[in-house]
Amino acid sequence: MYTLKLIFKNAFRHKLRTCLTILSVAVAILSFGLLRTVVRAWYVGVEASSASRLVTRNSISLVFPLPLSYREKIRQVTGVKQVSHGNWFGGIYIDEKNFFPSFAMEPKTLLELYPEYVLPPDQKAAFLRDRKACVAGLKTARKYGWKIGDTITLKGTIFPGNWEFVLRGIYKGSNKNIDETQFFFHWDYMNETMKKIIPRRADQVGFYMIELKDPDTAAEVSLAIDGTFKNSLAETLTETEKAFQMSFVSMTEAIVVAIQLVSFVVIIIIFAVSANTMAMTARERLGEYAVFKTLGFSGWHIGAMIFGESIFITMLGCAAGIIFTFPAAKAFGSAMSTFIPVFNIETKTIYMDIAAALIVGIAAAVFPAYRAINIRIADGLRRIG
Amino acid sequence: MPEKAPIVEIRNLFKSYQRGSQTIPVLQDIDLDIAEGEFLALMGPSGSGKTTLLNLIAGIDRADSGIMRIGGIDITPLSETDLAKWRAANVGFIFQFYNLIPVLTAYENVELPLLLTGLSKKERREHVETALRLVNLGDRMEHYPTQLSGGQQQRVAIARAVVPDPSIIVADEPTGDLDRVSAFEILDLMEKLVHEFGKTIIMVTHDPRAAQEAHVVRNLEKGVLTEERGPGSGGKGQGREDFGFRTPAP
Ligand SMILES: Nc1ncnc2c1ncn2[C@@H]1O[C@H](COP(=O)(O)OP(=O)(O)OP(=O)(O)O)[C@@H](O)[C@H]1O
Ligand SMILES: [Mg+2]
């Protein structure tokens, strides 16, 4: 009790110094939390991907297509439950800076394979019925103020021309890791148009998505599919959706590693700040600690006071940092929504904030406490006056 | 003092400090007896080793060699922990610069030594209030050190020193930082502790007027105890009276 009271009173003896330390810890925890969230957001596609789905693409590169005829052959491979197919469309909405991922997809199988894209039944029916229909994720629809029934024109980059769609549905993610910025429309609509304007590019599929009967058979089924097309004109590469997503992430891995590094550097910096504060504090109070020891208080008491004060200060900073992380992440997330579609603070990040602050609080007190505990009383007393 | 063994018995005490490769002898072959209930003033030039000797007697520093029997216990072989317990139970400290904890009130400062005892909160309150009334600060209990004058702070320090009811009180220049009037009050209080409560006081001082209050004045010069002078204006303590409470050893 007394120790707690002393810790509290001691912590605010130098109000300015303590407040500045708390502020720097808060800022550091805030940046640490945001950076961790960016790192998590990078992997969110990987995490949201299902273990029971495979992706088949051209083994040379994703930019090379596969023939539409593969669809039936893939469907016949044992272990395959359902096949969908699609192309990356990469359309531009009004201006290049208005980026969102757009895909031409086989609509019926898409919705069957991806139950995580949640559409109200009437919107689903309307989407399937209308050849020129499209659906957009809630975030994109909100961002551009789209309403059901709106006509949306995308300028094709890979598929030339201005493409007109009617918004028939707005999907929501079944959980908060689901990307709500995507845009889907009928693959057939695109294919028929291509047949008219560039016939040689018709019936070409960017990738197949496969639903497995049993997730445990992913490896065998992948091999079987790729085996089917071995030595054909377009050989395939089949992998789990997770691995497929990971291959995108790994292209940018260096950035993620850099961000991760910075997030730890931030922690090291607050360690230095806190350690400095605690060292100053403990040095000023060596005389007082000597008085405590003179009165018969043990090194444990002295240690408890110093560690307690250090942890108290860093935890106050941590709490402030966490509180500010939420509005900051919200602002950051909406500003960066084009690049980072899903930006949520995970509970794990909060735990990491707390753990980091705790470790800093403890580490910052080690040296000052060691010194205060071990200084001879007579020497400590000589420091007064 | 043939009738009773002295409370402090020091024989062949040596103490030196190491400064780099140099050994600086500070105390050389000190022999000193202090009777129970005695008020001893330790004088001598600056750097002669007064504080060092006081610290050794009080168990906050260690001698190189020699015997120190205090209250019948040889304290030289005690471990740090045992020494701390012994100090808490047997020695009260008064410093030149009061050394109160600035974030604690007068009351809390005086309560500090009692936290190491098994006393209940209520018992502690009784003891603290008795001690603060003894030093005439019953009305300043909730004041912080910065809200008190130097003399008042030193009186709080005296209350803190006596509250666990130690038999020995050591004071290192207790009046060194005070004006004449406050210094006199402090000396008066120490006198009272010896006379009414039978405490043994060892006081380091530069002030001959302060030394006047003591029964015995010893001079330390270059680490050697020199002359001995008999009682000054004060008389010898009349034995131990009850301080009003007993504190169990921690
Ligand atoms: N920790 C230490 N390391 C080295 N030398 C020390 C140490 N402490 C004290 N000394 C030396 O021991 C000698 C005696 O010091 P001490 O403080 O006991 O003197 P003092 O008589 O109390 O002096 P003053 O009247 O100025 O308080 C001095 O020369 C001092 O420099
Ligand atoms: Mg001294």
Q: Do A6 and B115 touch (CB under 8 A)?
A: no
For residues B88 and B65, give the distance between their C-alpha atoms in angstroms, rounded to a whole number: 24
CA distances from A323 to A11, A111, A214, A266 (A): 21, 38, 43, 18
Determine, yes or no, domain membership for A247.
Answer: no
A206 and A130 in a common domain: yes
Does A101 lie in the same domain as A29? no
Asked if B249 is an interface residue toward chain A (Cβ–Cβ < 8 A), one would say no
In this structure, the strands spanning B200-204 and B39-43 are: parallel
pLDDT at B228: 67
Q: Out of A292, A377, A385, whose CB is closest to B96?
A: A385
- Classify the C-alpha dihedral B169-B175-B178-B182 as positive or negative: positive
Q: Are both A178 and A75 inside the same structural domain?
A: yes
- Give, as one character, the DSSP assignment of residue A65: -
Any chain A CB within 8 A of the CB of B16? no
DSSP bridge pairs for A83: A210
3-state helix, strand, coil split of chain A in percent (to 5) is 60, 15, 25
Inter-residue contact B160 to B187 (CB < 8 Å):
no
Q: What is the pTM of this model?
A: 0.81
Residue A49 lies in a domain: no
**Closest residue of chain B to A1, computed from CA coordinates:** B115
β pairing state of B22-34 and B8-19:
antiparallel
Q: What is the DSSP letter of A53?
A: E
Which regions of chain A are under pLDDT 70?
1, 384-385
Residues A149 and A27 in one domain: no
pLDDT given at position B229: 62
Residue where the block lists tokens 């001082």: B205
How many Å apart are CA A361 and CA A364, to the nearest integer? 5
In the prediction, which pLDDT does A384 show?
63
**CA distance linking residue B194 with residue B36, whole number of Å:** 9
Q: Is B87 on the interface with A (CB under 8 A)?
A: yes
In chain B, residues with a C-beta closer than 8 Å to the C-beta of A382 are 51
pLDDT higher for B225 or B146? B146
Amino acid at the residue B212? Q
Choose among B147, B207, B146, B149: nearest CA to B174.
B207
Q: Which domains does chain B have, with CATH numbers?
A: 8-229 (3.40.50.300)
Number of domains chain A contains? 2
Same domain, A257 and A228: no
Is residue B17 within 6 Å of ligand 1 at its C-beta?
yes
In a domain, A55, yes or no: no
Angle at CA A270, nearest 5°, toward A268 and A276?
A: 105
Query: Domain check: are A64 and A165 in the same one?
Result: yes
Q: What is the distance between the alpha carbons of residues A197 and A199, in angstroms, rounded to a whole number?
A: 6
Domain closes at, from A203, A234, A265: A234
- Residues A124, A6, single domain; the answer is no
Which 3 state secondary structure label does DSSP give A381?
A: helix
CB nearest to B101's CB, from A288, A293, A377: A288
Ligand lying nearest the CA atom of residue B16: 1
Both A90 and A214 in one domain: the answer is yes
Considering only CB atoms, which chain A residues are within 8 Å of B116? 295-297
> Do the Cβ atoms of A8 and A311 come closer than 8 Å?
no
ipTM, two decimals: 0.89
- pLDDT in the model for residue A39: 87
Assess if residue A246 is contained within a domain: no
Specify if A293 maps to a domain. Answer: yes
Which residues have CB under 8 Å from A92's CB, separation 6+? A98, A99, A154, A155, A157
- Evaluate if residue B238 carries a pLDDT over 60: no
Q: Which is it for strands B39-43 and B65-70: parallel, antiparallel or unpaired? A: unpaired
Domain-located, residue A244: no
Say whether both A135 and A39 belong to one domain: no
Residues A222, A155 share a domain: yes
**DSSP letters of B109-160?**
HHHGGGGGS---HHHHHHHHHHHHHHTT-TT-TT--GGGS-HHHHHHHHHHH
Q: How far apart are CA A377 and CA A292, in angstroms?
A: 9
Could you give the CA distance from residue A141 to residue B36 in angstroms, rounded to a whole number? 92
Residue A149: the pLDDT is 96
DSSP string, B87-114: HHHHEEEE-TT----TTS-HHHHHHGGG
Contacts of A322 (CB under 8 A, 6+ apart): A29, A33, A350, A353, A354
Backbone conformation region of residue B20, classed left if phi is above 0, alpha if psi is from -120 to 50, else beta: left
Domain boundary among A183, A204, A234: A234
Assign B209 a pLDDT band (cuts: 50, 70, 90).
confident
- Dihedral through CA B67, CA B73, CA B77, CA B80, nearest 10? -130
**Does pLDDT of B19 surpass 60?**
yes
Domain of residue A7, residue span? 2-44+253-381
Q: Per the domain annotation, does A245 fall within a domain?
A: no
The closest residue, in CA terms, to atom 5 on ligand 1 is: B17
Shared domain for A75 and A19, answered yes or no, is no
Q: Is residue A54 part of a domain?
A: no
